[in-house]
Amino acid sequence: MNQIIAFLFFIMSLGHAQTFQGRKLQQKLIPGELLVICKSNCIKNIRKGFKARSRSRVKTFFKGKNKYSMIKVKGVSNQEYQNFKNFADSDPGMIIGPNYHYIGDPREAITSSSLAIEQDDPELEKQDHHEIIQTFNAWKNKSFGKAEIIVAVTDDGVSLKHKDLKDAIWFNKKEIPNNGKDDDENGFIDDVNGWDFSDGDNNPDGGSHGTHVAGIIGATINNGIGGAGIAPGVKIMPIRWYGGSKRWTSEMIAESYLYALNNGAQIINTSYNIDGFVNDKIYRDVVKLLKKEGMLVFNSAGNGGKKDPPRAEIEEVVLVAALDSDFEKNKVDTKAYFSNYGEGIDISAPGHPIYSTVLRGGYGDMSGTSMASPAAAGVAALIWSQNPELTNTEVLAKLLKGADNVSAKNPKMKGLLGTGRINVPNSLKSKAKVLEISLFSKKIKKNKSGDFQMKFSLTDIINKSVLESMAYVYITKPAIDAPQTYSRLKVKATYDKKNDYVALNFNKKLEDGNYIIKVPKKYFKYERGDQKRFPDSAKSTKVYEYYVITIQ
């Protein structure tokens, strides 16, 4: 490690401006600043090497064994960066990238109205979204969510003393309040209820946007006041990353996500404009890390009314579009006029309007994909509460499979609003499986539409009902000896009864080249054909077999 200690970088460039509802989100490079993320032993070596350099100031976070840490180094040249990058490319456990400053208001709520101070009577009847997504039917079975499931809300803060939120706020049991010490050695002093990265203190309180978002997820039920969140039994981890005295940077965004990861959150909700993050290496690599570590990250699809927003490129994030949710105006399940849409959208949820918690102990309406995203995150939290053994991909599969088809209400948006609108009981009982399918290389070719089509025969194990329960499949494209990273691809399965085969149609954006297909043996019987076997050393578990196929 000592050989690479003197490397790092400096790139002089200006990011492009992002436009959102008339508000600009600008990305500006901070010259000479580099962020490095890896586990503790790696950070210690890098930090030690930079200590002797007076012009390089190092900042370390997240102490502790097997935790992820980050350092910031200043005064780095182009050549130093290139040298360090060459080394880091050989270490899949290391993330490096420039630090950007973001300017503008990225919160994706577009209206706020009808504020009301709480009364003793419940406000549930005003929360139309519960009826739309059938939350009440799930609650009948006591599916309120469990406190072990932690949902981090990266936002402008959460009202910690709101009567309908105070009991839902995450409490760090390893930290002794107000003793001025970092009791759990996670790098943060007295972080009892999360952290405020935008001001650099332990008080993530406040924020009209974040308070509304948090209430959609987990406002308390059966307490005689207000309404309720979709998953009122789970815990909300407030992370204030925007709106304080500090400028909003790649560093702050990475800190926030790593804090959630290192402190036990399984789900993150970010209702912010992330279009400008598409070319931010730190952000892109951090969300990949979160997915690898088993987390789910939900994000608003955006309020620009545009097809295929730039953020659709970020496959590790679950993008949620907004639908109308106004019974009085007879507008339910149609796409909200402001919502983005497209092939990169994963699912939709009510978002115009949503009645939830606001500042000063009240309730009120807000609209936006900002409101749709936490609704989907809340359903995922319920699924994980009921099925704690599931992986993040399996939870997502159940969420997507359980969605209601809204094509009839949106005939021009077929396939552009994800798998449909969230449905709580459907997703909870969904039998969706995450299958990774092996296919015959000679039968992989483009169809008349230009999509890649793969055909295979049904067996007694892989049958029509199993295919219908399949939310999506995984396909990989790493080198044989490289760590496996997965990209989710949209797949349409069709069954040809006459010829008894199934065709999977992949998006035409699939690149040419060799792909690795991972096959669960318990789901699939298949012919060997001309497929090439992986060497035994490439197998990670006995229940899977690996094959290489060529797409051209």
Query: Does residue 310 belong to any structural domain of this protein?
Result: yes
Same domain, 523 and 483: yes
* Distance (Å, whole) CA 237 – CA 152: 4
Verify whether residue 370 is a known catalytic residue. yes
Q: Catalytic residue among 209, 280, 346, 385, which? A: 209
pLDDT tens over the chain, length 552 residues: 333 322 222 222 222 222 224 356 799 999 988 898 887 667 666 666 555 442 444 455 555 556 788 888 888 888 777 777 776 766 667 888 999 999 988 998 876 554 444 433 368 889 999 999 999 999 987 789 999 999 999 999 999 999 999 999 999 999 999 999 999 888 899 999 999 999 999 999 999 999 999 999 999 998 888 999 999 999 999 999 999 999 999 999 999 999 999 999 999 999 999 999 999 999 999 999 999 899 999 999 999 999 999 999 898 999 999 999 988 888 899 999 999 999 889 999 999 999 999 999 999 999 999 999 999 999 999 999 999 999 898 899 889 889 999 999 999 998 899 989 999 999 999 876 554 443 333 334 555 665 555 555 554 444 555 555 555 444 443 333 444 343 444 555 566 666 655 565 655 454 444 444 443 333 333 333 333 333 333 333 333 333 333 333
Same domain, 174 and 33: no
**Which range of residues forms the domain containing residue 99?**
2-103
Query: Does residue 515 belong to any structural domain of this protein?
Result: yes
Tell me which amino acid residue 152 is: A
Phi/psi at 547 (5° precision): -135, 155
Q: Catalytic residue among 155, 191, 324, 346, which? A: 155
Query: Does residue 23 belong to any structural domain of this protein?
Result: yes
Query: Does residue 110 belong to any structural domain of this protein?
Result: no
The angle formed by the CA atoms of residues 457, 462 and 468, to the nearest 5 degrees, is 100
Of the residues 429, 453, 480, the one at which a domain ends? 429
Q: Is the dihedral of CA 255, 256, 259, 260 positive or negative?
A: negative
Task: Tell me how many helices (H) and strands (E) the chain has.
Answer: 11, 26
Same domain, 263 and 246: yes
* Distance (Å, whole) CA 184 – CA 174: 5
Verify whether residue 155 is a known catalytic residue. yes
Query: Does residue 112 belong to any structural domain of this protein?
Result: no
In order of 273, 355, 471, the CA distances from 296 in angstroms are 18, 25, 16
What is the total count of domains within the chain?
3
Cβ neighbors of 139 (< 8 A, separation 6 or more) are 221
Annotate 522-534 with b (16+ C-beta within 10 A) or e (fewer): ebbebeeeebeeb
* Number of residues that this document lists for the chain: 552
Residue that the structure tokens 């502790």 belong to = 64
Same domain, 225 and 358: yes
Cβ burial of 101 (10 Å; 0-12, 13-18, 19+) is middle
* CB distance 98 to 34 below 8 Å: yes
Of the residues 46, 80, 103, the one at which a domain ends? 103
Which tokens hold the place of 258?
């790593």
Query: Does residue 471 belong to any structural domain of this protein?
Result: yes
Same domain, 511 and 425: no
**CATH code (residue 339):** 3.40.50.200
Same domain, 144 and 239: yes
Same domain, 94 and 178: no
Same domain, 334 and 361: yes
Same domain, 347 and 488: no
Same domain, 415 and 482: no
Same domain, 325 and 441: no
* Distance (Å, whole) CA 54 – CA 19: 40
* Distance (Å, whole) CA 424 – CA 406: 15
Query: Does residue 108 belong to any structural domain of this protein?
Result: no
Q: Catalytic residue among 325, 339, 367, 370, which? A: 370
Same domain, 80 and 127: no
Query: Does residue 111 belong to any structural domain of this protein?
Result: no
Of the residues 394, 429, 464, the one at which a domain ends? 429
